[in-house]
Amino acid sequence: MPGITPLRRPRYAGRLLTAALAAGALTFGATAHSAPGPAADSDRARPAAAATSPFTGLPAEPAPVLAVKVDNHRGARPHTGLDRADIVVVEQVEGGLGRLIGVYASDVPDAVGPVRSARDYNVEQLRMFDRPALAYSGAAEGVEEVIRNSPLYALSHDTFPAAYYRDAEGEAPHNLYVRPADVLAEAPDASLSDDIGFRFADDAPEDGEPTTTAGVEYPAFRADFTWSAEEERWLASFDGAPAETADGGRLGGRTVVIQEVEMRPSDVNPATPYIETVGEGSATVLRGGRAYETTWQRPDATSGTAFVRPDGERMRFDRGQVWIVYKEA
């Protein structure tokens, strides 16, 4: 669509900005016409501009990005640490099952899981974060080679077992968990959180279709989202049951994006769908009890994804956790 500029960022731009702030090289509140010299009392009293997460729209400093592949087999539920992700992704894998990805930067829990294997399309998908860390349990031989040769900081259970542990009360393979801090310690140059195309605002667009429930069905999995006016978020259900956390909480997001994508057989492992996240297509954005029809646009793997309204304006997400749910176009 005309008027949309590809979302590109200098590599590690967020890290350079943080360093500049720490060194005092940037001063907020000054103008181009400010004269050098002691700050006025009013300037001393003015608070510095708060940093905002590009993933949630909430206050947060730039931080290293970690993606965790999360098991969503019935035997893997309830989940640990998923409620603290900035972004939760729902994807289809072989056999029509559903799997999850938790993306972390603003808030990193002590543990996340259960953890499962990666797919070759995750490389292209996660490049929108530049060079994030990736935690996963392993991958098929050809897929592992693709991931190993990619720019991602790929730290699997096979290559870095010290960051993972098994819950003795769970049943393998659904009992593997990762310590995010240990993975991030091994990825010192992981990219910091930066613009991936999301736009946030306190006020929602005035139109939109009143909606209380929406869902996506795969051959062997279903995800549903029900609007809760009391909690002001979309509560998730998996396979007809409430999606819960290990401590009894309920999973759900302030914004849910149902993104229609092509799913073709993988060139590396034809039994697994390759989800095309570069290109464009339709997307329904759920916010505040309403559904908004948009078009998603991502020019290439190093670009973010823009969600554009029919009038050409960018869709405004609600502030908080965002869910991206892939649906076959």
Mean pLDDT computed over every residue of the chain: 88
Does one domain contain both 277 and 311?
yes
Q: Is the dihedral of CA 67, 72, 77, 83 positive or negative?
A: positive
How does pLDDT run across 262-296, given as a tens digit for each residue? Answer: 999 999 999 999 999 999 999 999 999 999 999 99
Does one domain contain both 146 and 213?
no
Residue indicated by tokens 């570069």: 278
| pLDDT, one tens digit for every residue, the chain (329 residues) | 444 444 444 333 434 333 333 333 333 233 333 333 333 433 344 445 679 999 999 999 999 999 999 999 999 999 999 999 999 999 999 999 999 999 999 999 999 999 999 999 999 999 999 999 999 999 988 999 999 999 999 999 999 999 999 999 888 999 999 999 999 999 999 999 999 999 999 999 989 999 999 999 999 999 999 999 999 999 999 999 999 999 999 999 999 999 999 999 999 999 999 999 999 999 999 999 999 999 999 999 999 999 999 999 999 999 999 999 999 99
Q: Is 321 a member of any domain?
A: yes
Strands 87-92 and 322-328, by their bridges, are: parallel
What is residue 218's predicted lDDT score, i.e. its pLDDT? 98
**Secondary structure of 181-206 as H, E, C letters:** HHHHHCCCCCCECCCCCCCECCCCCC
What is residue 141's predicted lDDT score, i.e. its pLDDT? 86
Instruction: Indicate which CATH number applies to the domain containing 118.
Output: 3.50.90.10
Q: 74: which DSSP letter?
A: G
Q: Is 129 a member of any domain?
A: yes
Does one domain contain both 214 and 291?
yes
How does pLDDT run across 18-55, given as a tens digit for each residue? Answer: 333 333 333 323 333 333 333 343 334 444 567 999 99
Does one domain contain both 140 and 230?
no
Q: Assign 17 to helix, strand or coil.
A: helix
What is the tally of structural domains in the chain? 2
| Residues shown for the chain | 329
Does one domain contain both 174 and 214?
no
Q: Which domain holds residue 254?
A: 209-328
What is residue 50's predicted lDDT score, i.e. its pLDDT? 73
Q: Is 181 a member of any domain?
A: yes
Do residues 117 and 69 lie in contact, with contact meaning Cβ atoms separated by under 8 Å? yes
Helices (H), the chain: 13-23, 41-45, 121-126, 141-148, 180-185
